[in-house]
Chains A and B, each alone.
Chain A
Amino acid sequence: MSKETQPLLEMIGITKIFPGTVALDGVDFMLRRGEVHCLVGENGAGKSTLVKVLSGVYPPEKGEIRLDGEEVKVRTPFEARKLGIEIVSQEPELVPEISVAENIFLGRVPKISNGSFVIDWHALSDKAEQVLRSCGFDIDPRQHVSELSTSNRHLAAVAKAVAGDPKILILDEPTAALGGKEVEALFGLVKRLVAKGTSIIYVSHRLEELFLIGDRITVLKDGKRVSTEDVKTITQKELVKLMVGREIGKQYGSRQAKIGQEILEMIHVSDGKTLKDATLTVREGEVVGLAGLVGAGKTEVLKSIAGASKVEAGEMMIFGKSRVPRSPREALKMGVGYVTEDRKHLGLVMNLTVGWNILTSVLPRLCRHGIIQYSQCNKVINDSVSSLKVNPPEPLKISGELSGGNQQKVVLGKVLAMNPRLVLLDEPTKGVDVGAKEEIYGIINRLAESGVGILLASSEMPELIGLSDRIVIMRDGTTVAELAAEEANEEAILRSAIGG
Chain B
Amino acid sequence: MTRSYDVMIVGIGGQGTILASNILGEACLIEGRHIKGAETHGMAQRGGSVESQIRIDGEFGPLIEPGHAELLISFDLLEALRYSHYLKEGGKMVVNHHLVIPTSVFTQKIPAPNEDDIIAQLKKFNLCLIDADQIAIEAGSPLAQNVVILGAASHALPLKPESLREAVKKLVPQKTVEINMKAFDLGREFGGTC
Task: Note whether A and B form a binding pair.
Answer: no
- Residues of chain A touching chain B, judged by Cβ–Cβ distance below 8 Å, are none
- Residues of chain B touching chain A, judged by Cβ–Cβ distance below 8 Å, are none
